[in-house]
Amino acid sequence: MSRILVTGANGQLGKSIQEIAKNAKDLHYIFKSSKELDITDSLQVNSILSYQSFDYCINCAAYTNVENAERNPEVAHRVNALGVANIAHACSKNEVILIHISTDYVFDGRKEGPYTINDPTNPINMYGKSKLKGEEYIQAILKEFFIIRTSWLYSQYGNNFYKTILEKAKEGIDLKITDEQTGCPTKASNLAGFISKLIVAKSEAYGIHHFTDGIAMSWFDFAQKIIDDNGLEGSVHLEKVKNYRTFAQRPKNSVLE
């Protein structure tokens, strides 16, 4: 039976993995929220990985607020880079295979087509830079790891674009959504299923992987799909805008192959 530690277990992906764990055979999951296990505390990380025998660690812990990362880069770096290094060192010491979740934001968005795992990285905001640094630490420290880049994650849990659009549409609030950014929305439960399959298969396809639901669209297109899929076409006005501005720069194209 494989024993699996899941960090950041109260996030979207962590909770989606918890759903899968209910019916998992020959897999024993231990879930730790960010409050229960602070990955920036190397002593905590070393303690749990040294004194409990794990085969895998799925790192879902991350600082994901892109806007706040721009204002507080040191906080993003501490979690997304140094915290990941802590996990990588502990996994190396205890022969644990690390499955780490990364992001489409490691790319600058200037490419016309989908990004492959071999394309050069060039993040344009502090969130992306901190996540890329975490990737680099893993590759320098470990030989057996999976770095899974994903994009536009959504679920019934936490705060995400899907839930926000659905709630506002149900309330009849007019929506102005940009079509200047293109990516691939990814359902967290699908990503959780992919990770589970890697473990069940005892995959040795170590390295960087891209995982999305495979359909590229703009934020406007995604909002329209959410409205249509929930039968709310007549209850809300959706307007396409070009002048959507945020504090942090965001890649115009972050489609992952």
Catalytic residues: 127
| Phi, then psi, of 26 in degrees rounded to 5 | 65, 20
What is the rounded CA–CA span in Å between residue 24 and residue 224?
35
**Contacting residues for 207 by C-beta, under 8 A, at least 6 apart:** 117, 145, 146, 147
SS3 29: strand
Indicate the DSSP class of residue 213. Answer: -
The CA-CA-CA angle for residues 81, 213, 131, to 5°, reads 10
Dihedral (CA of 5, 126, 205, 215) sign: positive
With beta carbons less than 8 A apart as the criterion, state whether 63 and 69 touch. yes
What is the rounded CA–CA span in Å between residue 48 and residue 100?
17
**Contacting residues for 173 by C-beta, under 8 A, at least 6 apart:** 236
SS3 74: helix
